[in-house]
Amino acid sequence: MSWFNILKNEMRSVNLPKFKVKPFNVNKPDEDDNCERKVKEIERRFYARKFFNQSEISSLEEKLKNPDFEVNTNVHKHTDNRRRLTIRYTPKPEKYPNYNQDDSLTISVVVDHETWQTTFGKDSTAQTFADSKLSEEDYCTVLDAIQRDVPFTSKDGAIRYFHTDALTRTANDNDGTFDNVESFSRLRGLIVNRKKLIRMDIELDVNIEYRGKLHHLTYNNNIFLPNTLETSSQVKDGLDIIADYINNINIKFTE
């Protein structure tokens, strides 16, 4: 037998380890890519989110300019995670000589996504996900509820996800406009009640206020509507623009 055949037979008898060759275009799995990490990252980004940035407000002001009314906007920062946008219409004297600066239409928009500790103090029983330690199964249930964004209660009742996009105090807001609406709110809420209570909430509140001669009472629905809304296309068009802006405010937990 030749030396080549001998060598070939010896190689067959050696049990060599088997290696899987991974394609270069496949990413290495992230061992830390679990539900806990994802939930805590969603929460971190959620509390870091800022509403009513200056470029958005400047763009809104430009769209609301009109020849009959002065339109002023103001963003008040109550806290880092609670801000109020105020939009105020006042009649221009040259257009409405019988009105004064006390006659106004004001739309107030508040977005509040404070932590419960900030809202209720250090004695609050609710904590954040960042400080929590749940089972991976619970974190995955929470992650699924956030991503689905539909009302949900776990079988044991310990995890609840709730929201509303059409809660109104005086009228129906289902069409996303200001027609026959004096005020309304929208919210998202998440509660996990295990050994400790965990909460994450966000609420958007909208209030419309008419002062002076810019309103009259309609007894059929018991809400205030301004006289000028019936005659001024500038205000009607402006309210549509404001409604579009509000409807595009994302109050989901994910961006």
Residue 26 has pLDDT above 70, yes or no: no
Band (pLDDT 50/70/90 cuts) for residue 178 is: low
Contact 228, 165 (CB under 8 A): no
Report, as an integer, the average pLDDT of 154-172. Answer: 75
Residue 191 has pLDDT above 50, yes or no: yes
Which of 27-41, 57-71, 208-222 has the weakest average pLDDT? 208-222
Band (pLDDT 50/70/90 cuts) for residue 94 is: confident
What local confidence, expressed as pLDDT, does residue 141 receive?
96
What local confidence, expressed as pLDDT, does residue 158 receive?
95
pTM listed for this prediction: 0.74
Which whole-number Å values give the CA distances from 104 to 32, 92, 114, 181, 246, in the listed order? 55, 11, 31, 17, 20
Band (pLDDT 50/70/90 cuts) for residue 9 is: low
What local confidence, expressed as pLDDT, does residue 181 receive?
61
Q: What digits encode the pLDDT tens for the residues 149-162? A: 999 999 999 999 99
Band (pLDDT 50/70/90 cuts) for residue 21 is: very low
Q: What digits encode the pLDDT tens for the residues 205-248? A: 988 887 766 554 333 333 334 444 444 667 778 888 888 899 89
Q: Which range, 25-39, 59-73, 157-171, has the best average confidence (pLDDT)?
A: 59-73
- Identify the CA nearest to 244 among candidates 60, 38, 42, 25: 60
Q: For the chain, what percent of residues have pLDDT higher than 70?
A: 67
Report, as an integer, the average pLDDT of 36-42. Answer: 96
Residue ranges in the chain assigned as alpha helix (H): 3-13, 35-48, 54-64, 116-120, 136-148, 233-247
Dist. CA 242–CA 201, nearest whole Å: 24
Dist. CA 225–CA 232, nearest whole Å: 13
